Amino acid sequence: MKETDGHGFDLAGVRLIALPSGALLWPHEAILTVSDLHLGRSERIARLGGGLLPPYEVADTLMRLDQDIAATAARTVICLGDTFDDRLAADLAANHMGWLTRLMAGRRWIWIEGNHDPGPVALGGEHRRDLSLGPLTFRHIAVPSARGEISGHYHPKLRLAGQARPCFLCDGARLILPAYGTYTGGMDAGHKALRPLFAGRALAFLTGTPVRAVPF
């Protein structure tokens, strides 16, 4: 995949591409990273007595993941936690579980532990609290003062021209990914929980085509 299909930038000396979908590509290593899929969110909301949402979010999220894997020819996929919305949501329908299993086949698949995630699930792959690859460290929640860190958790969004768009947040030392799941909310990029994590010259990469870099 070419940089023109997303926004290329450097983190800890590594060239990465923020994709329009909210996925992250490390092209040299053919690693695709996504965060906060929250599969089963509509089922959980209904189970807990909330509103009824159209039950298509799992299929929509998996379809976009399938497309990103095919487009990037990813040999490794890293899921940065909160893949499932809660423990019971991890019991996907048979067709969705089959779809996910097919995506995992023939490539390295790494599950990073999230705060919503269940314990070990009935899926293959590697299950880790965090993962270091070269100068980069992958984890679910950002750690203050970390460098070369890639994380998720906060579901950052930035409002531009009256529209809130999911975004990556980056200052050259750390990167926070947007939520990849279809039914996920978001936290404003200027929120007090996020601002202390970044240096003054931080950028937001707004998802969509084209990916647009703006100060935040």
pLDDT at 57: 79
The CATH number of 3-215 is: 3.60.21
pLDDT tens-digit series, residues 27-78:
999 999 999 998 865 555 454 555 545 557 788 899 999 999 999 999 999 9
Residue 99 token pair: 């779809």
- Please choose, from the candidates 194, 140, 144, the residue with its C-alpha nearest in 3D space to the C-alpha of residue 169: 194
C-beta separation of 214 from 185 below 8 A: no
Mean pLDDT in residue range 189-207? 90
- Burial (Cβ within 10 Å: 0-12, 13-18, ≥19) of residue 48: exposed
Percentage above 90 pLDDT, the chain = 61
- List all residues 6 or more positions away from 179 whose beta carbon is below 8 Å from its beta carbon: 22, 35, 36, 37, 38, 152, 155, 166, 185, 186
